Amino acid sequence: MGVYAPTPIATPSVMEEIERTILKPSFEGLRSEGLTFVGMLFTGVMLTASGSKVLEYNVRFGDPETQAIIPLLSKETDLAEIMVACTEGRLDQVEIPISPGFCANVVVVAGGYPDSYEQGDVVEFRPTPEKVIIFHAGTKSENGQILTAGTAYKGVDSCFIAKIIGFCVRSRKATEGSIIIFQGLVLLLAL
């Protein structure tokens, strides 16, 4: 599993179609039901010959998609300000500057995932290359060690920012398995 951002296929016209046919109707549907949504709504979209289609909606911050977008926020971006503005209903008044470049996130999971998978294995971290960020999911700290603990996204994933997406993805493939090590490690790369 993995994700990269931004995606070159999301041209301005594709984004306009997604906003018009998916995002606006989604929020209009919530309003018509008398529901108020405050938070981050991730909409997974698949582009098909017959137009954009919704794969999923997620409202949590831990997904690989979020982990590939957050590092692209510029140094001037205040994530706390964005969250507060969201809760106060003034998100439209906040600038959200994005840094140029790409980010690729590769998920590392325990053997057996998504079915029955191992828990309690020690996770070893070797020195990470510059600009690599390791996000933990499905791990726990016990007796000074990081152990696999088993949740929806088992193990750890990382994100690398580069100027050229091909370099970004190749760099991740080349280094991922050598910086994160645990029993039964499986690298799922679907980029």
* pTM of the entire predicted model: 0.69
SS3 97: coil
| 8 A C-beta contact, residue 158 and residue 171 | no
Furthest-apart CA pair in the chain: how many Å?
54
Q: What is the pLDDT along the chain (191 residues), one digit of tens a residue?
A: 677 788 888 899 999 999 999 999 999 999 999 998 888 788 889 999 999 999 999 887 767 788 788 888 998 999 999 999 989 989 889 999 988 888 877 777 766 777 777 778 887 777 766 677 777 777 788 999 888 776 544 333 344 444 444 444 555 444 444 555 555 554 433 33
Amino acid of residue 148: T
Residue indicated by tokens 């590392």: 108
Question: CA 2, CA 63: separation in Å to the nearest integer?
Answer: 10
Q: Is the link from the previous residue into 6 a cis peptide, with omega within 30 of 0?
A: yes
Q: List, in sequence order, the alpha helices (H) in 59-133.
A: 64-69, 79-87
Burial of 73 (0-12, 13-18, 19+ CB in 10 A): middle
Output the CA angle 26-30-33, nearest 5 degrees: 140
Structure tokens at 74: 């510029």
For the chain, which domains are there? 6-93 (3.30.470.20), 102-188 (3.90.600.10)
Alpha-carbon 39 to chain mean position? 16
